[in-house]
Amino acid sequence: MIKIFIDPGHGGSDPGAVGNGLQEKELVLKIAKRLAEKLEEYDGVEVRLTRTDDTFISLSNRAKMANDWGAHYYLSIHINAGGGEGYEDFIFNGNVSSATESKQSLMNEEVVEATGFNNRGKKQANFAVLRQTNMPAILTENGFIDNASDANKLKDDKFLDKIAEGHVNAIAKMFGLKSGSPSNGSNAPSKPRPSKPKNSNGSPNKASGTIATIQRTLNSRYRLSISVDNLFGPQTKGALVKGLQTELNRQFNRGLAVDGVFGPKTRRACVTVRQGARGNITWILQAVLHCKGTSPGAIDGIFGAKTRSAVRTFQRQNNLQVDGIAGPQTFQMLFK
C-alpha cells in the first residue's frame, strides 16, 4: 500500500498569502481535498491529510504526522505571492535522493501540462517541512495570489480541479498506480472512474432524504460502503463514529482504532465543539443530531446558532448540562 501524505499549507490563524479577494489557506484546502478524492480512486494507495478544515498546525507537527504514519511521499500544497506568475516547486536544498529529484521532475511536468501555468522551474529550498520529513517530499506553489491573471484562474473551481489533476497524474506515474477499472494492457496509469455507493444487492442506491445524503457523504469522505437507505440504523451510527475517530486522528493525533465503536478511548479523545467551530467534526455533530431527531438546521459543518440550539435541546432531553457546547459527555450520549 502506497501512503501519500497531503499537506494543505497554513490554516486557522495563519491565512497564508492574501490577494484579489482570495486566501491561500482556503484555496490549498480545496485543492488538497480534490486531490485526495482523485487519488483514492486508484488501487493500492492510502491518503492522509494534515488538515481537513480551517485548523492551524505547526510546521514541525506537519512533518511529524507524516513521519509517524510512515508516508511514502509528502506533498505540501501552496499558493505563491510576491509579484511573479505561474507554477514552481521545491525540494530540500540539502542532501536528497535521486528518487526525490526524479519525482520533482514528474510533478513539475504534469502540473504545468494540466494547468497551462507559466513554468518557473524546479527549485530547492530549506523549508522546514522538506527538511524534517523522512520520505521524498515536495512543496508546490500553484500560481500567484497577488497576480491578477493567476488569481482569476484560482477563483475558478474547474481550474482548481486541473491543479489537483496534475498532482494526481504525477503521483500515479511516480508509483505506477492503476485505477480499479479493467486493464487495457497499457503500462500507463489509467484514469480513475468515480464510484457510486451501492446497496446490498450491488445496484446503485437512489434513496433520497437528509439521512441518505449523510450516508453518501460518509461513503465518499471516509471510503465506506454503507447502504444508502435513508434510515438511521447501526451501520450508519457506526459510520458516523468512524468518521469522528478518523477526524480526531487526523486533526489531533489521537491514535484511535477506527472501529466504529464509541468506547472509553474515543470518549476521552473527544474535543469540545462550540459555536463558531467549522469543519468535519462539526459536520459529524450536526449529522448525528439530525439522525437522533434534533434538527441543527443545515448540515454544513458550521456551528451556528441553530446548531447550538439543537445541542441545548438534546442536552436538556438527556439530563446533561445545558450549555450548548458539545463535549465528551454530549458526544457519548449522542452515540449511545
Annotated catalytic residue within 110, 141, 165, 247: 141
| pLDDT over threshold 80, residue 253 | yes
Based on the domain organization, do 161 and 38 belong to the same domain?
A: yes
> What phi and psi, each to the nearest 5 degrees, are found at residue 215?
-60, -45
CATH number (domain holding residue 13): 3.40.630.40
Stretch among 53-57, 81-85, 180-184 having the lowest mean pLDDT: 180-184
Q: Are residues 69 and 139 in the same domain?
A: yes
CATH number (domain holding residue 226): 1.10.101.10
- Tell me: do 224 and 274 sit in the same domain: yes
- Give residue 136's region: left, alpha or beta (phi > 0; psi -120 to 50): beta
- Tell me if 205 is assigned to some domain: no
Q: How many domains does the chain have?
A: 2
Beta pairing, strands 22-23 & 45-49: unpaired
Domain match, 164 and 308 both: no
Same domain, 48 and 130: yes
Residue 240 CA to residue 242 CA, distance in Å, equals 5
Q: Is the pLDDT of residue 153 over 80?
A: yes
Q: What is the pLDDT of residues 266-292, one digit of tens each?
A: 999 999 999 999 999 999 999 999 988
pLDDT, residue 276, reads 93
Mean pLDDT of 80-87: 94
Does the pLDDT at position 195 exceed 80? Answer: no
How confident is residue 152, by pLDDT bands cut at 50, 70 and 90?
Answer: very high
pLDDT above 70 covers a percentage of the chain that reads 91
Query: Tell me, what's the pLDDT at 185?
Result: 35
Q: Is residue 245 part of a domain?
A: yes
Q: Check if 141 is active-site.
A: yes
Q: Which three cell numbers stand for residue 71?
A: 508516508
Mean pLDDT of 213-239: 90
Instruction: Supply the pLDDT for residue 83.
Output: 85
Residue 207 has pLDDT above 70, yes or no: no
Domain span holding position 220: 210-334
Instruction: Report pLDDT digits (tens) over 63-81.
Output: 999 999 999 999 999 999 9
Among residues 126, 157, 175, the one where a domain terminates is: 175
Amino acid at the residue 231: L
Q: Say yes or no: 37 and 150 in one domain.
A: yes
Q: In Å, how far are 144, 155, 280 from 64, measured between CA atoms?
A: 28, 32, 22
Q: Are residues 164 and 214 in the same domain?
A: no
254 within 8 A of 27, measured Cβ to Cβ: no
Question: Where is the domain boundary, 132, 158, 175?
Answer: 175
Look at residue 19 and tell me if it is in a domain.
yes
- Whether this prediction's pTM lies above 0.85 is answered by no
Is residue 167 domain-shared with residue 316, that is, in the same domain?
no
Same structural domain, 163 and 220: no
Please indicate, yes or no, if residue 183 is contained in any of the structural domains.
no
Q: 147 and 251: one domain?
A: no
| pLDDT confidence tier of residue 206, bands split at 50, 70 and 90 | low
Listed in sequence order, the residues at least 6 apart from 130 whose beta carbon sits closer than 8 Å to its beta carbon are: 76, 90, 91, 92, 137, 138, 139
CB 140 within 8 A of CB 86: no
| Distance in angstroms (rounded) separating the CA atoms of residues 73 and 263 | 33
- Start-to-end CA distance of the chain, whole Å, equals 35
* Residues 118, 224 share a domain: no
190 belongs to a structural domain: no
pLDDT band for position 210 (50/70/90)? confident
Q: Is 185 among the domain residues?
A: no
- Please check whether residue 258 is in contact with residue 291, taking contact to mean a CB–CB distance below 8 angstroms: no
Residue 13 and residue 152 in one domain? yes
Domain C-terminal end among 175, 195, 225: 175
181 found inside a domain: no
| Interval 104-121: pLDDT, tens | 999 999 999 999 999 999
- Structural domain includes residue 197: no
